């Protein structure tokens, strides 16, 4: 597929993240209340103000949940109508008054998160972490090649890009300490992920093919992680408070329809999967990803580059497995891919891996980084590159604030 041209010239510019091919969905506020919008070029379209062709009630609240729950037919109808309105110059007079410059609006949470589940589905990441803590011979857990591993996180901790993130307090215990102590996290980290958003709710188990059709779209996702809190708490039930501080998502939902031309297959299986996890077609996407880090007062440096195609399990497989116990899914459920890492050192999606547990610090703007320091701004980027166009996600950014003072009662 090539660039689809719009009468809005900024959407046709080389390198534009939001061409007509994309049309990602978000929520914006121009100073007079939050509204549902579509990014196009350097503008955002107030969707409710144009002849979108759907029931107006779907756009009554500043959230995409109602549209998601309306299902694939409604999604296709809306996308088709927006392509017409923004692609055919005959509609320019009616549509242009409802375009606002992106530079003049604040971007909000694009949807209400019902529940959040995070997975552990990149083989390079799992191997790196396992090697650090268990040795190369026991790097992957025995079940890893058979099952998408995940944990249930906190929907209340999911925030939109630009939200500052406070360094957490927690219970820590070093290897040479006899007893735990309560202190601020000293090994605060990022996790470069892609989040899949469930649009269609379900009851009972769904197949991989059905799961793929349930996914409304994708966002960049940074699952901030307190590694020292995690090290003490994770046995026997896994991550808990180490993952509850914040999870940042990008402000634009890139639809599955926009990503369709970029499908790629999951890797060859090292162990045959059970039949219920088999994939009827390619289920991953060729999406280039990168991580930028800017120490306080310094320019940003890109510290990692990788690709979503590195995943071992697709979002559809993760969603299928999630329902295998009969677990119902709801519109607005968010599934994190798990940290996305490639084979090379500069393709690792967390500082835990990049610094190899803190033993190999990075040099950034003349400073050493093993883990995140107060004042650091962390930004994730992602885009699928087509023939003369790109499907961008917008930035997924957050600045680390110092821990709050210790409460008197603690």
Which two three-digit tokens encode residue 38?
């579509």
- Identify which of 326, 201, 310, 203 has the alpha carbon closest to the alpha carbon of residue 265: 310
Q: What is the 3-state secondary structure (H, E, C) of the chain?
A: CECCCCCCHHHHCCCCCCCCCCCCEEEEECCCCEEEEEEECCEEEEHHHCCCCCCHHHHCCCCCHHHHHHCHHHHHHHHHHHHHHHHCHHHHHHHHHHEEEHHHCEEECCCCCCCEEEECCCHHHHHHHHHHHHCHHHCCCCCCCCCCCEEECCHHHEEECCCCEECCEEEECCCCCCCCEEEECCCEECCEEEEEEECCCECCCCCHHHHHHHEEEEEEEEECEEHHHHHHHCCCCCCCHHHCCCEEECCCEEEHHHHHHHEECCCCCCCCCCHHHCCCCCCEECCEEEEEEECCCCCCEEEEEEEHHHCCCCHHHHHHHHCCCCCCECCCCEEECCCCCCCCHHHCCCHHHHCCCCCCCEEECCEEECCCCCCCEEEEEEEEECECCEEECCCEEEEEECCCCCCCCC
Whole-angstrom distance, CA of residue 275 vs CA of residue 137: 28
Whole-angstrom distance, CA of residue 24 vs CA of residue 16: 13
Whole-angstrom distance, CA of residue 139 vs CA of residue 342: 16
| 142-161 b/e (C-beta count within 10 Å ≥ 16 → b) | eebeeebbbbebbbebbbbb
Whole-angstrom distance, CA of residue 115 vs CA of residue 205: 17
**Catalytic member of 124, 125, 321, 322:** 125
Judge whether 125 counts as a catalytic residue. Answer: yes
Residues forming the active site:
125
């Amino acid at each position: 597929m090539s660039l689809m041209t719009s009468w809005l010239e900024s959407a046709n510019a080389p390198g534009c993240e939001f061409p007509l091919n994309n049309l990602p969905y978000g929520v914006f506020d121009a100073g007079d209340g939050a509204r549902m919008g579509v990014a196009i070029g350097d503008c955002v379209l107030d969707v409710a103000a144009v002849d979108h062709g759907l029931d107006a009630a779907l756009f009554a609240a500043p959230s995409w949940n109602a549209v998601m729950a309306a299902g694939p037919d409604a999604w296709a109808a809306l996308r088709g109508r927006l392509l017409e309105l923004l692609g055919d110059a005959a509609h320019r007079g009616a549509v242009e008054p409802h375009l606002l410059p992106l530079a003049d609006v604040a971007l909000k949470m694009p949807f209400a998160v019902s529940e959040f589940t995070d997975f552990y589905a990149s083989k390079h990441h799992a191997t790196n972490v396992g090697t650090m803590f268990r040795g190369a011979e026991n790097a992957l857990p025995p079940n890893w090649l058979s099952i998408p591993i995940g944990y249930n996180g906190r929907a209340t901790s999911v925030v939109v890009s630009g939200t500052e993130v406070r360094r957490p307090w927690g219970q820590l215990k070093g290897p040479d300490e006899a007893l735990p102590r309560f202190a601020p996290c000293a090994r605060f980290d990022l996790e470069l992920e892609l989040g899949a958003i469930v649009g269609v709710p379900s009851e009972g188990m769904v197949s991989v093919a059905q799961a793929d059709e349930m996914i409304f779209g994708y966002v960049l996702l940074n699952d901030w992680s307190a590694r020292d809190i995690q090290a003490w708490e994770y046995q026997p039930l896994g991550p808990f408070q180490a993952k509850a501080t914040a999870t940042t998502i990008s402000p634009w939902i890139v639809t599955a329809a926009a990503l369709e031309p970029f499908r790629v297959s999951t890797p060859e299986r090292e162990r045959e999967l059970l039949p219920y996890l088999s994939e009827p077609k390619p289920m991953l996407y060729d999406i280039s990803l990168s991580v930028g880090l800017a120490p306080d007062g310094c320019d940003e440096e890109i510290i990692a580059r990788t690709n979503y195609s590195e995943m071992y399990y697709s979002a559809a497989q993760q969603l299928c497995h999630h329902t295998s116990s009969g677990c119902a899914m709801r519109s607005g459920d968010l599934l994190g891919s798990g940290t996305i890492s490639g084979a090379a050192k500069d393709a690792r999606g967390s500082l835990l891996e990049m610094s190899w547990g803190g033993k190999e610090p990075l040099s950034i703007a003349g400073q050493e980084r093993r883990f995140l320091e107060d004042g650091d701004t962390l930004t994730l980027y992602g885009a699928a590159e087509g023939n003369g166009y790109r499907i961008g996600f917008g930035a997924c950014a957050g600045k680390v604030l110092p821990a709050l003072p210790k409460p008197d009662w603690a």
